Amino acid sequence: MSQEKNLEYEDVRDDILSLIMEFEGCRLTAYKCPAGVNTIGWGHTEGVKEGDRISQEEADKILAEDARAYYEDMLKLVTVTLTGGMAAALTSFCYNLGASYCKNCSLFKELNKGNYAVAAGKFGDYVYAGGVKLAGLVKRRAKEKEMFERDGFPSSDAAGR
Report, as residue numbers or ranges, the catalytic residues: 24, 33
Beta bridge partners of 128: 133
What is the phi/psi pair of residue 38, to 5°? -60, 130
| Cα angle for residues 66, 68, 69 (degrees, 5° grid) | 65
Spatial CA neighbour of 22 closest among 154, 159, 156, 142: 142
